[in-house]
Amino acid sequence: MKKLPKIGLLYLDYVLRFFDKSNFKGWPDKIETVTYHWGNDKARFINEVRRKEIDVLIGNIPATAYETFREIAAALPNVRFIPSIETQFSNKSKENVTLFCKKYGLSIPHTEIFYDKEEGYNYLKTCKYPQIIKRSYGPSNYGGYYVHKVDNYEEAKALLDEKKYIPIYTQDAIPLKYKGDIRVMLIGHKPVCAFWRFAGSDQWITNTSQGGSMSYENVPMNALELAVEASKAAKAEYWACDIAIDENTDKAYILECATAFAAFPYIRDWIGQYIMWDLSEGRFRLPHVPLYSWEELGKISPSLLRTMRHIHFAKYEPSADGAYWLEDKGNFDMEKTEPSSPDDIPESIKPEDEDKLPEVVKETLYVKSDVEVDDEDEKFELKDITLTNLLTLQGIDEDSAVKIKEMIDNGEINSLEDLKQYDFIPEVLIDSWKKYFKG
Ligand SMILES: Nc1ncnc2c1ncn2[C@@H]1O[C@H](COP(=O)(O)OP(=O)(O)O)[C@@H](O)[C@H]1O
Ligand SMILES: [Mg+2]
Q: Note the pLDDT tens digit of each residue in 389-423.
A: 887 776 677 778 888 988 898 888 988 988 888 87
As a whole-number percent, the residues of the chain with pLDDT over 90 amount to 60
Helices 94-103 and 221-234 sit at what angle, rounded to 10 degrees? 90
Calpha distance 271→435 (Å, rounded): 42
Least-confidence region, from 134-143, 253-262, 272-281, 298-307: 134-143
- What distances in angstroms separate CA 147 from CA 137, 170, 373, 391, one per listed residue? 12, 10, 17, 19
Asked whether residue 351 carries a pLDDT value surpassing 70, the answer given is: yes
Contact assessment for residue 259 and residue 88, using Cβ atoms and an 8 Å cutoff: yes
Ligand 1 pocket mutation pick from 203, 246, 255 by most atoms within 8 angstroms of CB: 255
Q: Is 132 in the pocket of ligand 1 (CB under 6 A)?
A: yes
Contact assessment for residue 5 and residue 280, using Cβ atoms and an 8 Å cutoff: no
The average pLDDT across 374-400 equals 77
Q: Compute the mean pLDDT over every residue in the chain, rounded to the nearest whole number.
A: 87
pTM of the model: 0.83
State the pairing for strand pair 32-36/7-12: parallel
Q: What is the pLDDT of residue 209?
A: 65
Q: Note the pLDDT tens digit of each residue in 181-239.
A: 999 999 999 999 999 999 887 788 887 766 788 999 999 999 999 999 999 999 999 99
Q: What is the pLDDT of residue 329?
A: 62
Strand partners, 242: 183, 256
The total of other beta-carbon atoms located within 10 Å of residue 147's CB is: 18
Contact assessment for residue 216 and residue 295, using Cβ atoms and an 8 Å cutoff: yes
Asked whether residue 140 carries a pLDDT value surpassing 80, the answer given is: no
Q: Is 259 in the pocket of ligand 1 (CB under 6 A)?
A: no
Report the SS3 class of residue 111: strand
The more confidently predicted of residues 29 and 392 is 29
Q: What is the pLDDT of residue 372?
A: 44
Beta-carbon contacts of 73 under 8 Å, excluding residues fewer than 6 positions away, are 79, 81, 85
**Ligand nearest to the backbone CA of 169:** 1
Q: What is the pLDDT of residue 144?
A: 67
Asked whether residue 172 carries a pLDDT value surpassing 80, the answer given is: yes
- Please name the amino acid found at residue 251: K
Contact assessment for residue 386 and residue 14, using Cβ atoms and an 8 Å cutoff: yes
Q: Note the pLDDT tens digit of each residue in 263-275.
A: 999 999 999 999 9
Calpha distance 276→5 (Å, rounded): 10
Contact assessment for residue 239 and residue 230, using Cβ atoms and an 8 Å cutoff: yes
Asked whether residue 179 carries a pLDDT value surpassing 80, the answer given is: yes
- What distances in angstroms separate CA 38 from CA 53, 68, 345, 397, one per listed residue? 22, 9, 24, 12
Q: What is the pLDDT of residue 432?
A: 78
Q: What is the pLDDT of residue 63?
A: 81
User: Ramachandran region of residue 280, left (φ > 0), alpha (ψ -120 to 50) or beta?
Assistant: alpha
Asked whether residue 123 carries a pLDDT value surpassing 70, the answer given is: yes
Element (H, E) at 418: helix 416-419
Q: Note the pLDDT tens digit of each residue in 274-308.
A: 999 999 988 999 999 999 999 999 999 988 999 99
- Please name the amino acid found at residue 398: E
Nearest to 171 by CA among 227, 120, 216, 207: 120
Of ligand 1's atoms, which has the minimum distance to the CA of residue 142? 23
Calpha distance 280→278 (Å, rounded): 6
Q: What is the pLDDT of residue 265?
A: 94
What residue's CA is closest to ligand 1, atom 9? 255
Q: Is 141 in the pocket of ligand 1 (CB under 6 A)?
A: yes
**Ligand nearest to the backbone CA of 109:** 1
Q: Note the pLDDT tens digit of each residue in 40-99.
A: 789 999 999 999 999 999 999 988 788 889 999 999 999 999 999 999 999 888 999 999
Q: Is 258 in the pocket of ligand 1 (CB under 6 A)?
A: no
Contact assessment for residue 180 and residue 242, using Cβ atoms and an 8 Å cutoff: no
Taking the centre of ligand 1 as the mean of its atom positions, its distance from the CA of residue 171, in whole angstroms, is 10
Q: What is the pLDDT of residue 423?
A: 73
Task: Give ∠ CA 267-188-55 in degrees, rounded to 5.
Answer: 90
Taking the centre of ligand 2 as the mean of its atom positions, its distance from the CA of residue 183, in whole angstroms, is 9
Task: Give Dmax over CA atoms of the chain in angstroms.
Answer: 79
Task: Give ∠ CA 259-256-111 in degrees, rounded to 5.
Answer: 140
Calpha distance 213→164 (Å, rounded): 32
The average pLDDT across 324-349 equals 82
Q: Is 171 in the pocket of ligand 1 (CB under 6 A)?
A: yes
